[in-house]
Amino acid sequence: MINEAKKVLKNYFGYDSFRKGQEEIISNVILKVPTLAIMPTGGGKSLCYQVPGMISDGVTLVISPLISLMKDQVDALNDNGIPSTYINSSLSSLEIEDRINDAKLERYKFIYVAPERLESRAFRQLLKELPIKIIAIDEAHCISQWGHDFRPSYRNIQMVINELQNQPTIVALTATATREVISDICNILDIPIEHVFVTGFTRENLSFTLVKGENKRDVILRYLERNQGQAGIIYASTRKEVDQLYQFLKKTGYLVGKYHAGMTEEERYKAQEMFLFDRITIMVATNAFGMGIDKSNVRYVIHHNLPKNIEAYYQEAGRAGRDGEPGECLLLFNPQDVQLQKFLIEQSSMNDHVKTFEYKKLQQMIDYCHTDKCLQQYILAYFGEDNQTYRCGKCLNCTDQREKHDMTTEALMIFSCIKRMNERFGKTLVAQVLKGSKNKRITQFNFMKLSTYGLLKNKTEKDIVDMIDFLAAEGYIELTSGQYPVLTLDKKAYLVFKGDLQVIRKVQMNQRQLVEDNQLFEELRALRKQISEEENLPPYIVFSDRTLREMSQVCPREKKDMLEIKGIAEMKFERYGIRFLERIKKYLEGSEGV
């Protein structure tokens, strides 16, 4: 059966071989074994149900959380000659009725629905009439209360499965899942733990960068100037910030759109279409935008504010470079963002137990902003891949060439101060004691009599807080969970006391241009844009940036050469191949004449 799967992969999707983990997952699904696949964004999750779905003699039902994702996936499948549809709230009742009738006539191989659709008894009755052989659950972390995008409607999936007479094969897929989330998904969907496939969380084509203590708008303008014409997303925490940043960039002359929940559905749809079709290059948005967006040529993601946790950050950052080409993830950190996230936790309807859990995850996000470790290694460790020797070689910390600073003396002062304050206070008060502040609380607790009082008076209070944050990120200090975390010493701090360990720290940052100029690549990109307008399809569905880049490097002159390029199958060539061959030929003739 796997040979048949490889034929489907080549004939319909244009790839000669599976990526890491795909073959094992697809084999499991073909053998009708319930499966959970955890793969990095851009790792090819969709093929893990699309290939088995093509081999199956029935219908694959895909449960997907966002309308935009469904449309993207269905457009891409139909463009590859695979009959597919979606049923969601963007359609009229007449359109839904037509598609349901076509589904009954088995005119589709794939049907995409939102989880909320499963709440309809009439729709569940329809499903009983269809030959559903596979149910694919995309963004499966939404089923878990410990997941960062928990959606209660996902809990109906198991009920639907139980109602079907012929039990379909279940395949759940996600890019971000901690151990708690994996366990939750398996328990709810009855997936044996031995059928969980984790292909890794590493995104080797992405580089991660942090900027602290700089004017955010100045940083963004410098970055956009260096990466003009590249598609990117800028995330902000609130609608107000999105509106203000959008107006600022628009006045500066950039092709920019905005997206947040305060806009009408029509406004959001229009903005999204403009972005997908490359009519604008920058989208400023809240986290309401992008979950499941299949636009493959996003070259960068900028976080204007601190995300609430590592899962949310990695998923949003992972929207860069889905085509495998280089992408950059830039996080602009300001301590005030921490207060905003704490406010949002406190204002939520979560119970105290869940709030404590969210505070812990927020602290891990804060630690990320202060670590000197490889940034991707920090993220991998968060998801359970704790490889201490891993270095991505591209992130801020891996590429920083400045000399390391021995801050063991300052660290000992901080540890001593925390200890003398009986490990009962937060970092602000500890920093004030070390600075030698004379405020009311210092006097109230008689802290000016401590031997550590004023030991770091030559530093600013902000500098001391930064050092404390760094020591927490590196595991010397622990912070209790909650709105007002208290500092306690970890065992690593006692190794420093004994003289067995030094505390080494570096500082920060350099930006770079993402993509080298390539005249043929730009000409092919222009042709792709022209075709996308003619066909009313997003450019990346015609061909991805990665495919265009390989085309510009290989310079195929005939069909057989073109079909060797990743992402070009027979159907794609029939539709677009000749025009690209002609453009390449014209370019080569011009080059030879120079």
CATH number of the CATH domain containing 361: 3.40.50.300
Query: How close are the terminal C-alpha atoms of the chain, in Å?
Result: 52
Q: What angle do CA 470, 485, 421 make, to 5 degrees?
A: 85
pLDDT tens digits along 371-415: 888 999 999 999 888 777 889 999 988 887 766 788 999 999 999
Q: What is the DSSP string of 435-486?
A: HT---HHHHHTTGGGSTTTTTTTTS-HHHHHHHHHHHHHTTSEEE-SSSS--
Q: Which of 368, 399, 430 is the last residue of a domain?
A: 399
Q: Residue 319 domain-assigned? A: yes
Tokens of 212: 């602290």
User: CA-CA distances (angstroms) from residue 520 to 261, 509, 543, 555, 585?
Assistant: 40, 32, 15, 9, 11
Q: Residue 511 domain-assigned? A: no
303/330 Cα distance (integer angstroms): 6
Q: Which amino acid is at 529?
A: K
Is the torsion defined by CA of 207, 210, 211, 217 positive or negative? positive
Query: Which residues partner with 2 through β-bridges?
Result: none
190: left (phi over 0), alpha (psi -120 to 50) or beta: left
CATH number for the domain spanning 562: value is: 1.10.150.80
Cα 594 from chain centroid (whole Å): 44
Q: What is the DSSP string of 322-359?
A: TTSS-EEEEEEE-HHHHHHHHHHHHHS---HHHHHHHH
Are residue 23 and residue 131 in the same domain, yes or no?
yes
Q: Please report the pLDDT score of residue 213 as a whole number.
A: 67
391/375 Cα distance (integer angstroms): 9
Residues near 594 by Cβ (< 8 Å), separated by ≥ 6? none
Query: Which residues partner with 505 through β-bridges?
Result: 405
Q: Residue 461 domain-assigned? A: yes
Identify the CA nearest to 286 among candidates 343, 246, 355, 236.
236
Do 48 and 140 touch, CB atoms closer than 8 A? no
561/416 Cα distance (integer angstroms): 68
Q: What are phi and psi of 91, to 5 degrees?
A: -95, 155
Cα 329 from chain centroid (whole Å): 10
Are residue 159 and residue 266 in the same domain, yes or no?
no
Question: How many CB atoms sit inside 10 A of residue 155's CB?
Answer: 16
Report the number of distinct structural domains present in the chain: 4
Q: Which of 377, 399, 421 is the last residue of a domain?
A: 399
Q: Residue 510 domain-assigned? A: no
Are residue 220 and residue 361 in the same domain, yes or no?
yes
Q: Residue 512 domain-assigned? A: no
Alpha helices in 369-436 (DSSP H): 375-382, 396-399, 408-420, 427-435
130/133 Cα distance (integer angstroms): 9
Q: Residue 323 domain-assigned? A: yes
Are residue 383 and residue 292 in the same domain, yes or no?
yes
* 3 state DSSP class of 284: strand
Are residue 71 and residue 145 in the same domain, yes or no?
yes
The residue assigned the tokens 């390449």 is 584
Alpha helices in 80-231 (DSSP H): 93-104, 121-129, 157-163, 179-189, 216-226
Q: Which of 164, 182, 198 is the last residue of a domain?
A: 198
Are residue 271 and residue 309 in the same domain, yes or no?
yes
365/341 Cα distance (integer angstroms): 11
Angle between helices 2-13 and 22-30 (to 10 degrees): 120
Identify the CA nearest to 506 among candidates 310, 354, 413, 372.
372
Q: What angle do CA 202, 289, 524 make, to 5 degrees?
A: 70
Do 103 and 126 touch, CB atoms closer than 8 A? yes
Are residue 290 and residue 390 in the same domain, yes or no?
yes
Which is it for strands 405-406 and 504-505: parallel, antiparallel or unpaired? Answer: antiparallel
Are residue 27 and residue 176 in the same domain, yes or no?
yes
Q: Residue 513 domain-assigned? A: no
Are residue 211 and residue 171 in the same domain, yes or no?
no
Are residue 187 and residue 247 in the same domain, yes or no?
no
User: CA-CA distances (angstroms) from residue 561 to 295, 555, 571, 586, 591?
Assistant: 26, 9, 15, 17, 20
Are residue 176 and residue 49 in the same domain, yes or no?
yes
270/291 Cα distance (integer angstroms): 17
User: CA-CA distances (angstroms) from residue 292 to 66, 250, 326, 553?
Assistant: 7, 26, 19, 30
Per-residue pLDDT of the chain (594 residues; tens, 9 = 90+): 788 999 999 999 988 889 888 999 999 999 999 999 998 877 788 999 999 999 998 899 999 887 767 888 898 899 999 999 999 888 888 998 899 889 888 899 999 998 888 888 888 888 888 899 999 999 898 888 776 667 778 887 888 888 887 889 999 999 888 888 899 999 999 999 999 998 878 888 999 999 876 789 989 999 999 999 899 999 998 899 999 999 999 999 999 999 998 999 889 889 988 998 999 999 999 987 865 466 888 999 999 999 999 988 998 898 899 888 899 999 998 877 888 888 888 888 888 888 888 899 999 999 998 888 899 999 999 988 877 788 999 998 888 776 678 899 999 999 999 999 999 999 999 999 999 998 889 999 999 999 999 999 988 888 899 899 889 888 899 888 777 889 999 989 999 999 999 998 875 444 445 555 478 889 999 999 999 999 998 998 999 988 998 898 888 888 988 998 988 988 899 999 999 999 998 888 775 443
237/239 Cα distance (integer angstroms): 7
Q: Which domain holds residue 490?
A: 405-505
The residue assigned the tokens 């996902």 is 154
Are residue 224 and residue 158 in the same domain, yes or no?
no
Q: Residue 534 domain-assigned? A: yes
Query: Which residues partner with 173 through β-bridges?
Result: 37
